[in-house]
Structure 1
């Protein structure tokens, strides 16, 4: 457990790591040590050991909404994030930092998240990384370098983010069974009345030379193109509602003193 100096918040840190990846675990331990944060290692669910069908997964919904079959490692990743939320809710922490084992931290990472937690009234889920182009509309300065922002478009990746207890409850109660890849599912917080913000520029990164352990040989899991008759309308719905709901959130944040 960590006590953040400015916000006074109690922060629990969870590192998702496969038991068979000790090198990554050791590397991330060094990175956490360098920024001065204690962390717990959450044993990742190993997709290679899962048996299907599984009650935690709706394979039919995944095919209809995603246009491909599920990759077992993807299921393991998804369930590992949910386990982090469960462990957080069993603690007395105010916030949980959830990190995958291929993330690097900026030198001011702790300062950035501390200042963001001091502004926790603006968000339930705080995004810290993406694997595509970062972006968003800034509405509140945190420091000379970083600001809080709202993204009106989808951002991929779930390398590092912070949740409060409300968001963690949503993760454990509403994100099961699995119907989408995790980075899509938790980017739909607005459909449940939750608020998501970004710290920009990002204080952490998932863009490095480490190989993915999740979306391996993804083309082998593709389904015929006619499947996109269900996928495309759903994606259009998500993109439209994201702009509307987060645009409203942004307006409220800009007007809030």
Structure 2
């Protein structure tokens, strides 16, 4: 299983932290800063005024990871940010998950700070389940990306939202997404975010309310009406990852 870790050259402490958890081979993707996006990716962010420089750099770094998966012809790969905390059964549960995924999958969320409305598809190991979300989590801490998912993510278009928000709105690019609950990964509290937060709260759905409504309808269609009702009524408040 190919694992990529996105890491700034200066963040050696984070690299040591994540490598100690992975416990095996992985490849480091050098994260880029917003002011140093590679020429081939700059068109994605031209005219973008809604993204902070750190958000642009983060988004570009995830695109570079996707480029690597495509260039090598990998059927899929795990992408981790360097502040991820991994559960002790991380590798086992991800490998089992891939075997249970239906044809045509694009992305699997491995981290989820909130247990969003979902329906269970199949039991993976212990208490962990492969799930289908009504709407995808807002997180890029850890995920699995397939070849088809990479190509959809890389398709040229203006990027006006942070990468985690764009993936949450994945229906706009046709992303077929799944997840694992309880999640085998999550953001560590050991490090402060290297991306400064916007001083104002941004409500992205307000820009295209009809498109947002279409996405919610698409989520209900994916789950089915009965499953959607059960998913929304049975949603829980928070999921946590502990490493043993």
TM-score by length of 2: 0.80
Alignment RMSD, CA only? Answer: 2.7
The alignment covers a number of residue pairs equal to: 222
- Measure, in 2, the Cα distance between the counterparts of 1:20 and 1:195: 34
Taking structure 1 as reference, are residues 189 and 20 closer, same or farther at Cα in structure 2, changes over 3 Å only?
A: same
Match of residue 45, structure 2, among 57, 72, 81: 57
1:88 Cα offset (Å) = 0.8
1:42 Cα offset (Å) = 0.4
- Measure, in 2, the Cα distance between the counterparts of 1:193 and 1:47: 26
Q: Deviations over 1:7-66 (max 9, x none)?
A: xxxx32110000111111111111111xxx421000001225469xx5331435xx5xxx
Q: Deviations over 1:60-100 (max 9, x none)?
A: 5xx5xxxxx32101100000000000011111322111110
- Measure, in 2, the Cα distance between the counterparts of 1:120 and 1:169: 19
1:27 lines up with 2:17 in the alignment: yes
Residues 28 and 101 in structure 1, CA contact (< 8 A), matched pair in contact too: yes
Residues 12 and 96 in structure 1, CA contact (< 8 A), matched pair in contact too: yes
1:161 lines up with 2:134 in the alignment: no
1:3 aligned partner: none
Q: Deviations over 1:204-249 (max 9, x none)?
A: 11142310111x1521xx49xxx97x85152x33542232222222
1:39 aligned partner: 26
Taking structure 1 as reference, are residues 133 and 231 closer, same or farther at Cα in structure 2, changes over 3 Å only?
A: closer
What does residue range 108-123 of structure 1 map to in structure 2 within 5 Å? 108-121=89-102, 123=105
- Measure, in 1, the Cα distance between the counterparts of 2:131 and 2:35: 38
- Measure, in 2, the Cα distance between the counterparts of 1:195 and 1:49: 31
TM-score by length of 1: 0.77
1:143 aligned partner: 125
1:115 Cα offset (Å) = 1.3
Match of residue 206, structure 2, among 206, 220, 232: 232
- Measure, in 2, the Cα distance between the counterparts of 1:24 and 1:209: 9
What does residue range 1-257 of structure 1 map to in structure 2 within 5 Å? 11-33=1-23, 37-49=24-36, 54-60=42-48, 69-121=50-102, 123-130=105-112, 132-135=113-116, 136-153=118-135, 155-174=137-156, 176-214=157-195, 216-219=196-199, 222=200, 232-234=206-208, 236-251=209-224
Give the SS at the match of 2:189: coil
Gaps of 5+ in 1: 1-10, 64-68
Residues 7 and 30 in structure 2, CA contact (< 8 A), matched pair in contact too: yes
1:187 Cα offset (Å) = 2.0
1:159 Cα offset (Å) = 0.3
1:4 aligned partner: none
Residues 125 and 164 in structure 1, CA contact (< 8 A), matched pair in contact too: yes
Q: Which has the higher helix share?
A: 1
Gaps of 5+ in 2: 228-244
1:143 Cα offset (Å) = 2.2
- Measure, in 2, the Cα distance between the counterparts of 1:115 and 1:55: 38
